[in-house]
A = this chain, B = another copy of it.
Amino acid sequence: MGVFCVLFAILLFCTVDAPWEKAENQSVFPFTTFAFLVGAATSMVSGLIGMKIATLCNYKVTAACCDDKIKGFKIAFEGGQVLGFMLVGLALLILEIIILCYKPAVMNSISKDAPIAVQTETVRELFEYVSGYGLGGSTVALFGRVGGGIYTKAADVGADLAGKVAKGLPEDSPLNPGTIADNVGDNVGDIAGMGADLFGSLAESTCAALVVSSTCLEIIKTPDAIYFPLVITGCGICVSFISIWFAHLECFGDSYTVDKRLFWQVVVSTLLMTGAIIPPIYMLPDTMDMNFGGNSYTATPWKIFGCIAMGLWSGLVIGGSTEYYTSNAYSPTQDIARSTKYGPAPVIIKGLALGYLSNIIPIFCLSATILVAFKFAAMYGVAMAAIGMLGVLPIALAIDGYGPISDNAGGIAEMSGLEETVRERTDELDAAGNTTAAIGKGFAIGSACLVALALFGAFITRVAGDKGANVSIDILDPMCFAGLLFGAMLPYWFSALTMSAVGDAAEAMIEEIVSQEASILAGNAPDHEKCIAISTQASLTKMIAPGCIVILSPLIVGMVFGYQALAGLLAGIIVSGIQIAFSASNTGGSWDNCKKFVEGKKLSFDDGKTIIQKKMTVIQLIDGEQVEVTTSTPEHAAAVVGDTVGDPLKDTSGPSINILIKLSAITSLVFGSYIATYGG
């Protein structure tokens, strides 16, 4: 990761910063490159701290669960809290420091009496330099999400399938050499990857808001109004502090279950946040004229409030819809579970259809949010909607972090041979986390869409600044339409590469596990290292190609075909990618919960007729003797096939698309000036 970041920094230095091309009165300091490196370092440190916290917490959760479930919950959730507040706080703090340091250096190059056009131009340049910070964060997220996703799912799928091929080795047991790689992967993908992803979203949406607001004269003239996006994120941190208190309430007794605690976190924080954003809007000037794409939009503080609130509540609705489609408490997933009696094929067909169907509500919400925010305040509105959706990020991260901590706590309970009740308790914690984590996943994707659109807007603002006119991006321009079509294909290409990577690495993992089978059954210790090496190797080598697609495609298209083609490309990536991301994540989530439904205690459906069993007893001939053997029922086997197929969809290709969407947009923004000057 370090090597890649240094190479990329050199590229930035030579193209975007290019000190030898600076005017005489400009500072030759490589602002963008430095911000990029700081962003990358911050993101890496956050991921590292996150993983440390998770590994420190998970065995404590196991220990606490020996006494009481709620005690375990509190420790796991506290782990998540540390992760959430640390990540958001760090992102905001460092961003603030960068702006404060850069401001005098950049603004000194112009005199105080410079015409207002020069001043706004310089402010925009300042924030474009700062955008390097978002680029750095997202570049690290690329490694976390894509590499982490390949790592964890290669291990997971491999270990699961090996359980079938190598009959002697049970799944999830320390005897299975893939188990450790699977557990390590949970931390890499779900903690470091997810954290870096949302860290990137936050940094990027703030940078986008700063860049687009720099063209608004009223905001520039009003003291501190430009920092409004940072204030909103700050409000979110305060609101989250208060909401957290609701997770630890004791006054409701046992009826206040883990599920309810997590659910109320999300609702209470959203409600509080809606109120908390009212005072800061008085920072803004009374009217703001936004010019964008040849049209003029007049925003008011209350319209900006509307944008933020739309983003905030859309996030909640998207989360709720994800929950409905993926939780096994509702009919869509139960319907798939019912299909298990016809074998794996209907499970797959219905699961894919469910994922496609689950796109409808989120896309309705996002379209409405974009329409309203855009009408209210052009791209500044969209950027503020994104910041609104990420408003209660500390809570979302706390819940997301809580999931893998309790998941690993269960693994530790299993491997250390604790009583069955302990494992049952950790399983309940994990199940609650899975359900609520779906909400987090839903709005990670939704916010990625808004962030990317805002960055897209900032890129256009950038190009318009260079071309010196109101640029319009015409769908009916051949370059633009071809770019749109090509861009819509990129998420497929990207997903194909990540999914094949998981498939191939999983097969290598199976071969390794099977080759160790005889030795392990003879009493030797399993060689976990080899399996970890396979996952590590696969995640490092197989992410080069998808990484290149993300970074190079906007650069090549922009340089060769010009900014119209690049604008089409970005729009295509956003509108097509978001669909795959939602459907892949939800399909996978639903299959996962469908398997849990079949495995759990809910063996019969509401209609009381259909009953699905996990295990069945058959009589087999072994060495000529009739032996009673307990095996999976065909229904359970069908559910497991669904779950295994869903693994790469929900944890590798689906969430990676977030990165593709955002990173291609911010790359275009950061290289925007270079592309506008030399491209096409």
Contact = CB atoms under 8 A, between A and B. Distances in A.
Which of A344, A363, A472 neighbours the largest number of chain B CB atoms within 10 Å of its CB? A344
A442 interface: no
A356 B503 CA distance: 14
Interface string A414-442: 00000000000000000000000000000
Which of A360, A482, A572 neighbours the largest number of chain B CB atoms within 10 Å of its CB? A482
B374 A579 contact: no
A648 to B, nearest CB: 6
Contact of A472 (B356, B472, B492, B567): B472
A445 to B, nearest CB: 13
A145 to B, nearest CB: 18
Interface stretch (A84-92, A200-208, A291-299): A291-299
A366 interface: yes
A503 to B, nearest CB: 5
Contacts of A484: 571, 575
A496 B357 contact: yes
A474 to B, nearest CB: 5
A492 B346 contact: no
A143 to B, nearest CB: 21
A507 B342 contact: yes
A424 to B, nearest CB: 27
A157 B345 contact: yes
A565 to B, nearest CB: 9
A353 interface: yes
Nearest to A624: B626
Contact of A356 (B346, B353, B492, B572): B492
Contact of A350 (B495, B500, B574): B500
Which of A481, A487, A499, A640 neighbours the largest number of chain B CB atoms within 10 Å of its CB? A481
Given A363-B486, A366-B485, A485-B367, A474 B475 contact: yes
Contacts of A348: 348, 641, 645
A642 B626 CA distance: 34
A63 interface: no
A572 B571 CA distance: 10
A157 B349 CA distance: 11
B374 A478 contact: yes
A249 interface: no
A567 B161 contact: no
Interface in A524-580: 567-568, 571-572, 574-576, 578-579
A293 B476 contact: yes
Contacts of A164: 343
Given A350-B503, A621-B619, A645-B348, A161 B488 contact: no
A104 to B, nearest CB: 34
A384 interface: no
Contacts of A497: 353, 357
Contact of A478 (B353, B370, B481, B644): B370
A675 to B, nearest CB: 17
Interface residues of A, number: 88
A667 to B, nearest CB: 19
Which of A364, A493, A571 neighbours the largest number of chain B CB atoms within 10 Å of its CB? A571
A578 to B, nearest CB: 7
Nearest to A471: B476
Nearest to A295: B477
B293 A477 contact: yes
Which of A293, A364, A499, A575 neighbours the largest number of chain B CB atoms within 10 Å of its CB? A575
Given A370-B485, A503-B353, A510-B342, A359 B474 contact: no
A347 to B, nearest CB: 9
Interface in A309-350: 339, 341-346, 348-350
A502 B293 contact: no
A506 interface: yes
A478 B297 CA distance: 11
A645 B344 CA distance: 9
A431 to B, nearest CB: 23
A450 to B, nearest CB: 11
A166 to B, nearest CB: 11
A447 B572 CA distance: 20
Contacts of A579: 488-489, 492, 576
Contacts of A293: 474, 476-477
Contact of A621 (B343, B360, B621): B621
A161 B343 contact: yes
A349 B645 contact: yes
A14 interface: no
A375 interface: yes
A153 to B, nearest CB: 10
Which of A343, A345, A579 neighbours the largest number of chain B CB atoms within 10 Å of its CB? A345
A22 to B, nearest CB: 31
22 contacts: A161-B342, A161-B345, A165-B342, A165-B343, A292-B476, A293-B477, A295-B477, A345-B641, A352-B499, A356-B496, A356-B499, A357-B492, A366-B485, A371-B479, A371-B482, A449-B485, A453-B481, A457-B476, A473-B475, A488-B488, A575-B575, A621-B621
Given A293-B476, A367-B485, 13 more contacts: A161-B342, A165-B341, A342-B510, A346-B503, A346-B506, A349-B645, A357-B500, A363-B488, A363-B489, A371-B478, A475-B567, A488-B579, A575-B576
